[in-house]
Amino acid sequence: MKLLGIDTGGTFTDLVYTDGKTVKTHKVLSTPHSPEEAIMRGINEMQITLSNDLHVIHGSTVATNAVLEGKGVQTVYITNRGFKDVLSLGRQARKKLYDLSPKPVSPPVAAEYCLETGGRLSAQGDVLEPLTKSDIETLKQETDQLKPKAIAINLLFSYLDSQFEEQIESLFTDDYFVSRSSQILPVYKEYERGMTTWLNAYVGPLMQGYLQRLQHTLEISRLSIMRSSGQTCDAAQAAKEAVHLLLSGPAGGMAASKYLAEETGYNKLLTFDMGGTSTDVAMYDDEIELTGNGQISSYPVGVPMVNIHTIGAGGGSIAFVDEGGALQVGPKSAGAVPGPACYGQGGECATVTDANLVLKRIPESTRFGGAMSVDINAANTAIDKIAQQSCLESNKQAAEGIINIANEHMAQALRVISLERGIDPREFVLAAFGGAGGLHVCELAEKLDISTAIVPAAAGVLSALGMLVAEPGRQLTLTVGKILEDLTDQYVIEFANKLIETGVQQLLAEGHDQQFMIKEVLLECCYEGQGHTLSVAWKNIEQTAVEFEKAYKSRYGNHLQKAVELVNIRVGVRLKQKTSIARLEQVTSIHADETEKVITRTAMVTGKKYLGPMCICDAGATIWLAPSWHAEIIENNHIVLKRTKLKS
């Protein structure tokens, strides 16, 4: 089987192809209006033949962008009588605690698109109000008058009994894209469940249309999609569960990080993925960390997803001088069009990439994406404007200021996932990837007092490479809501087996072999009365209680004399597979001269230490090896960076 991994970003679309013997990489500028255009251009430029033995694995930003830009489809939200305002009220948590005059926020669903009906259950699953024939007829009439593109159904306690949601679903399936909470997220908390179900409906038709167009374009080649959990699924299933794709691209980076850890032995990584538009930071500590409390924009997302913190800082982040005369960077990005000034496509705004070029951290001989030459004059002109507006003496000072501000934004993001959680970043290796990650890795490591960093092979396209090594799988969750010591081992096992069977059947439907499937069970627990959970691996009731108390004390510094509640059971079903990426074909047209402190990755010699300052270039990314750092290339073309001078 030939594999092609594709990661569509805001600036570049990255492609990684393997025929089982070698691996080739490529970058093309993204086409946000029609992402499949950039994909096909990349395929054609790589001279890849579309065939039935080609398996394409794709990380898409279509769903993410639709949510961030508010460009989903018109959606009707159906719930029980008296609860149509749940999505608007939310948790009533202020973004700024002491802001007494917050700006009004538009509700996610307009009032006229929130419909109420019967079919209400109690917390024990008893029927409090039936779903009558009159209710169904009224719902049908009201919905048809509104003419939406999609429908989200979220009835109270539907995770205990889905019969009423299924009745409503059957009423609309033939005419609309329907999302029901008992299928998308069968867990407690009606607000989070409702938001997740609505998001699935809100972007579902867009993903469905996009994936159908892409599959048609790819002809007979097989298409799979990366899910937010870091696992893949068939494109047809992915279109029905679009909410699982909101971190589709970044999840590829985490899948690649897992592969990197296995290959190098660095099992504790702080990962730093800096692209053109944004930067994603995360932690890998012997396993990919998943969360059920994710967030996209201001919306909570309850489905299992990689625990990633994203900020609007990338190579394309625009620098400007605010009304007070202070230099600022981002979050607005120059994107793919027109892009940074140095792209030579008409962009006039100074960006982080322009600053790196002016400071000679990017050689003037660089070819972005392997083909696009840089325009140093345009970069200097853009940075000069910033220098003048901020009253700095030179464009070098302005460029350094831009880099320093961008670095501080990213360092703070790394602190959020480490120090703010009581975790010492000095115990980790900083793994940098993305087209711009290597340019900032040394300075970020210094800010966190980290002594070792790694820039993996194919760093500029690592998320796309992650598509190749990701495992097909499913993450399924269901609420239990019972005191742990009141349950038996058999009760938990039977509960988990129902979820496992669902995951197994979904993977079987994609043509996977059951004998290679791995099943995992996690229990999400809290002390009775608490609202947040910690996950522990299932062994038995007694051991789970012990492990939960250990995890709680590790996280919060103490444990409570209260009963432990089993809130949710989460199971994972995945296919264990191994894809070799050892033989990476590196192609670069960059002029390199070690005496000028510029060298290509392919020219580096194993066992030799290269001292900074120096630029290390390959086809998809550049590493700025700062003063007081040295670099060594290790097996499989990974580059390890170490500080030669540590803080006293």
Q: What is the rounded CA–CA span in Å between residue 639 and residue 648?
A: 26
Quick one: pLDDT band at residue 596, thresholds 50, 70, 90?
low
If one compares 473 and 335, the residue with the highest pLDDT of the two is 473
pLDDT (0 to 100) of residue 599: 92
If one compares 156 and 293, the residue with the highest pLDDT of the two is 156
Share of the chain above pLDDT 90, in %: 73
Q: What is the rounded CA–CA span in Å between residue 362 and residue 128?
A: 67
pLDDT (0 to 100) of residue 582: 45
User: Of 376, 370, 385, which is closest to residue 356 (Cα–Cα)?
Assistant: 376
Segment 636-648 mean pLDDT:
81
Q: Yes or no: say if 39 and 32 are a contact pair by the CB < 8 Å rule.
A: no
Q: What is the rounded CA–CA span in Å between residue 327 and residue 233?
A: 44
Q: What is the rounded CA–CA span in Å between residue 129 and residue 79?
A: 13
The two tokens of residue 410 are: 């990213």
Which of these ranges, 46-55, 100-109, 200-209, has the smallest mean pLDDT?
100-109
Q: What is the rounded CA–CA span in Å between residue 500 and residue 572?
A: 7
Quick one: pLDDT band at residue 65, thresholds 50, 70, 90?
confident
User: Of 648, 15, 31, 645, which is closest to residue 336 (Cα–Cα)?
Assistant: 31
Residues 6+ apart with CB under 8 A from 610: 599, 604, 616, 625, 630, 631, 632
Query: In the predicted model, is pLDDT for residue 591 greater than 70?
Result: no
Residues 6+ apart with CB under 8 A from 123: 157
As a three-state string, the secondary structure of 57-82 is: EEECCHHHHHHHCCCCCCEEEEEECC
Segment 487-496 mean pLDDT:
95
CA angle 227, 233, 236 (to 5 degrees): 110
Q: Does domain 250-465+601-648 have CATH number 3.40.50?
A: no
CA angle 512, 516, 517 (to 5 degrees): 80
Q: What is the rounded CA–CA span in Å between residue 367 and residue 373?
A: 5
Q: Which burial class, exposed, middle or buried, applies to 147 when counting CB atoms under 10 A from its CB (0-12, 13-18, 19+)?
A: exposed
Which residue blocks in 147-189 are alpha helix, DSSP H? 163-172, 181-184
Helix or strand or coil: residue 94? coil
Quick one: pLDDT band at residue 648, thresholds 50, 70, 90?
very low
Query: In the predicted model, is pLDDT for residue 60 greater than 60?
Result: yes
Whole-angstrom CA distances from 485 to 135, 541, 548 are 41, 7, 13
Q: Yes or no: say if 173 and 144 are a contact pair by the CB < 8 Å rule.
A: no
User: Of 360, 382, 368, 369, which is closest to residue 439 (Cα–Cα)?
Assistant: 360
Q: Distance from CA of residue 301 to its chain's centroid?
A: 12
Q: What is the enclosing helix (H) or strand (E) of 575?
A: strand 564-575
Quick one: pLDDT band at residue 371, thresholds 50, 70, 90?
low
pLDDT (0 to 100) of residue 74: 97
Q: Which burial class, exposed, middle or buried, applies to 558 when counting CB atoms under 10 A from its CB (0-12, 13-18, 19+)?
A: exposed
Task: Give the count of alpha carbons within 13 A of 420, CB side only.
Answer: 9
Q: What is the rounded CA–CA span in Å between residue 560 and residue 526?
A: 10
Q: What is the rounded CA–CA span in Å between residue 325 and residue 327?
A: 7
Q: What is the rounded CA–CA span in Å between residue 575 and residue 564?
A: 32
Q: What is the rounded CA–CA span in Å between residue 396 and residue 377?
A: 14
Q: Yes or no: say if 52 and 220 are a contact pair by the CB < 8 Å rule.
A: yes
Q: What is the enclosing helix (H) or strand (E) of 54?
A: strand 54-59
pLDDT (0 to 100) of residue 32: 85
Segment 595-601 mean pLDDT:
80
Quick one: pLDDT band at residue 218, thresholds 50, 70, 90?
very high
Q: What is the pLDDT of residues 120-162, one digit of tens each?
A: 999 999 999 999 999 999 999 999 999 999 999 999 999 999 9
pLDDT (0 to 100) of residue 249: 87
Query: In the predicted model, is pLDDT for residue 370 greater than 70?
Result: no
Helix or strand or coil: residue 518? strand
DSSP-derived secondary structure letter, 245: G
Query: In the predicted model, is pLDDT for residue 443 greater than 70?
Result: yes
Query: In the predicted model, is pLDDT for residue 586 greater than 70?
Result: no
Instruction: Determine the residue type at 506.
Output: Q
CA angle 80, 148, 62 (to 5 degrees): 105
Segment 621-629 mean pLDDT:
93
pLDDT (0 to 100) of residue 589: 45
Q: What is the rounded CA–CA span in Å between residue 628 and residue 644?
A: 5
Segment 531-545 mean pLDDT:
92
DSSP-derived secondary structure letter, 637: G
Query: What CATH code would you report for 70-203?
Result: 3.40.50
C-alpha dihedral (341, 345, 347, 348), degrees to nearest 10: 70
What DSSP assignment string belongs to 430-495? Answer: EEEESTTHHHHHHHHHHHTT--EEEE-TTGGGHHHHHHHHPPBEEEEEEEEEEEGGGS-HHHHHHH
pLDDT (0 to 100) of residue 498: 94
Query: In the predicted model, is pLDDT for residue 646 greater than 80?
Result: no
The per-residue b/e assignment along 119-135, b for 16 or more CB within 10 angstroms, e otherwise, is bbbeeeeeeebebeeeb
Q: Yes or no: say if 315 and 353 are a contact pair by the CB < 8 Å rule.
A: yes
The torsion region of residue 455 among left (phi > 0), alpha (psi -120 to 50) and beta comes to beta
User: Of 445, 420, 441, 423, which is closest to residue 432 (Cα–Cα)?
Assistant: 441
What DSSP assignment string belongs to 315-375? Answer: TTEEEEE-TTS-EEEEEEE-TTTT-SGGG-SS--S-BHHHHHHHTTSS-TT-EETTTEEP-
User: Which residue, chain included where needed, has tokens 């500029």?
Assistant: 460
Neighbours of 371 (CB within 10 A): 13
Query: In the predicted model, is pLDDT for residue 519 greater than 80?
Result: yes
Q: Yes or no: say if 76 and 143 are a contact pair by the CB < 8 Å rule.
A: yes
Q: What is the rounded CA–CA span in Å between residue 9 and residue 30?
A: 7
Segment 544-568 mean pLDDT:
92
Q: Where are the domains of the chain?
A: 70-203, 250-465+601-648, 473-575
The two tokens of residue 498 are: 């129902």
